[in-house]
Amino acid sequence: MNRRLMLTVALSVMLPWVVVAQKPDRTAPPPAGPPPAFSVPAIQKFTLPNGLPVYLLEKHQVPLVQINLLVQAGTAMDPAGKSGLANMTAAMMMEGAGARTTLVLADAIDYLGARITSTAGQHAMAVRLHTPVARLDSALALFADIALRPTFPAPELARKTKERLTALLQWRDEARMLSVVMFNRTLFGEHHPYGVPVIGNEATLRGFTREDCADFHATWFRPNYAALIVVGDVTPMSMRATLGAAFTSWKPGKGVAPSLPPIEQVAKREIVLVDKPGAAQTEVRIGRIGVPRMTDDYYALLVMNTLLGGSFSSRLNNNLREQHGYTYGASSTFDFRPLPGPFLAASAVQTAVTDSALVQFMKELRGILEPVSDAEVERAKNYVALGYPADFQTVTQIAGQVEELVSYGLPDSYFNNFIRNILAVRKEDVQRVARKTIDPDRITIILVGDRKVIDDPVRALDLGPIVHRTIDDVLGKAPVLEEKK
């Protein structure tokens, strides 16, 4: 027998044993290994001559740079009777700046292969630049014009106004948006910025002038309310002079923030049913006032919420989706803000099982108040800890993370200590913060669906009195976009 034949025979005899030996064990998931070592390079800081602070983090793997101008003013600073002004001002900053009109500005940005955006949140506005390093000087000139010298042309304001009025009209057909607007209003009231849509309403939108936008910008876009965040293939030495030249003309100012009404916790369980005739699904929003971002319970709350509704394998999603098939997904979240934001549990469920879904929501909200197992807590901690490095892959992601650090004055060690702080959460901490922040007897329940189908079954649950609302009650009369001829 030749050697080749002998080898073939030997392999044919051994192969079944090899296959058997290599058969994977699928009876249990593989154990999660320890979180990989994770650290963020030191954030380097310097201040421009006009007092504008700069936070710079070097990342030299790719020739890109992200520059974010963060301004500590947002929709919470909208003047009385002008809700939506911060949002409109941010949008209008991209509609012409310096000597460039809207289209010329857009073409100049595209020619450089750059991306510039301007946005408004509730407590901060931002102008963000993403550009190849080779085009930084030209892109930064456009960025500075948008941030410091927007022109707010009246024709573009009219176009933006019509876009927002159209959005308000579209919201009437979107159960999800109806539930968001009704939830925020019920929780925070009509006189708190958290309780009104960030784009404003028909009356305020129709009343905006270019002078309103220019005045809001002139008041709040000042270096003493701002910070520059730079991440990418640059160094402090190269950027100090470059940024100084771009922002040297920017002078400090003084704005007066409006006083905000106090935020009061939900006093009892309340149900608001917004009628959307013929709806195939019911949008469910359940929540109460949560906690501010700077709570000492932040890490424990992240773990607790991950277990409750903050991941695909959470209790809420496993119950309503996997076990009962009521929905494609159910979740919960704490919206952390400078002031206490909402805690929210939400889903869109089939109309016919609205009452059954509410039973399961209440079951899980009550269940999270009871002691949790070591295995559940460990799984939730690993989910948060192992996923955290994914938020630092690109220069854009890293700059976004630094925005949080700057906005809340977090320590420079925050990123590098995050995983350690998550893994230090104990199951006793989870139960403590759950009982501290979640009270199923003092919650707001918003339902947007077909009243004719869901009213009686929900009433039979005896969760509390039901207040009925129409779409007009939520959004007002439908805007008229064109004058009738």
Looking at the structure, tell me whether residues 229 and 286 fall in a common domain: no
pLDDT in tens, 412-469: 999 999 999 999 999 999 999 999 999 999 999 999 999 999 999 999 999 999 999 9
Looking at the structure, tell me whether residues 98 and 190 fall in a common domain: yes
For residue 81, is it within any domain?
yes
Q: What are phi and psi of 152, to 5 degrees?
A: 50, 60
Of 179, 213, 247, which residue is a domain's last? 247
For residue 6, is it within any domain?
no
HEC states along 284-314? Answer: EEEEEECCCCCCCCHHHHHHHHHHHCCCCCC
Burial (CB count <10 Å: 0-12, 13-18, 19+), residue 477: exposed
Residue 13 CB contacts under 8 Å (≥ 6 apart), including other chains: none
Whole-number percent of the chain with pLDDT over 90: 88
Model pTM above 0.75: yes
Looking at the structure, tell me whether residues 405 and 471 fall in a common domain: yes
| 332/2 Cα distance (integer angstroms) | 69
Looking at the structure, tell me whether residues 301 and 241 fall in a common domain: no
For residue 16, is it within any domain?
no
| 442/41 Cα distance (integer angstroms) | 44
For residue 482, is it within any domain?
no
pLDDT in tens, 87-121: 999 999 999 999 999 999 999 999 999 999 999 99
Residue 116: its H or E element: strand 115-120
Is 21's pLDDT higher than 60? no
Looking at the structure, tell me whether residues 275 and 227 fall in a common domain: no
Read off the pLDDT band of 14 (50, 70, 90): low
Find the CATH number of the domain harbouring 233: 3.30.830.10
Q: How many residues would you count in the chain?
A: 485
Of 216, 247, 278, which residue is a domain's last? 247
| Mean pLDDT of all residues in 302-308 | 98
Looking at the structure, tell me whether residues 169 and 220 fall in a common domain: yes
For residue 127, is it within any domain?
yes
For residue 200, is it within any domain?
yes
Q: Does 375 or 37 have the greater pLDDT score?
A: 375
Looking at the structure, tell me whether residues 221 and 299 fall in a common domain: no
Looking at the structure, tell me whether residues 239 and 278 fall in a common domain: no
Looking at the structure, tell me whether residues 238 and 339 fall in a common domain: no
Whole-number percent of the chain with pLDDT over 70: 94
Looking at the structure, tell me whether residues 292 and 407 fall in a common domain: yes
Query: 108-113: which pairs have CB atoms within 8 A and are 24 or more residues apart?
Result: 108/142, 109/139, 109/142, 112/138, 112/139, 112/142
Number of domains in the chain: 2
For residue 485, is it within any domain?
no
Looking at the structure, tell me whether residues 316 and 236 fall in a common domain: no
Q: 199-235 burial, b for 16+ CB within 10 Å, e for fewer? A: bbbbebbeebebebbeebbebbbbbebbbbbbbbbbe
Is 20's pLDDT higher than 90? no
pLDDT in tens, 187-233: 999 999 999 999 999 999 999 999 999 999 999 999 999 999 999 99
Note down the domain range covering 106: 44-247
Which among 67, 92, 111, 87 has a CA at the least distance from the CA of 400? 67
Looking at the structure, tell me whether residues 451 and 363 fall in a common domain: yes
For residue 275, is it within any domain?
yes
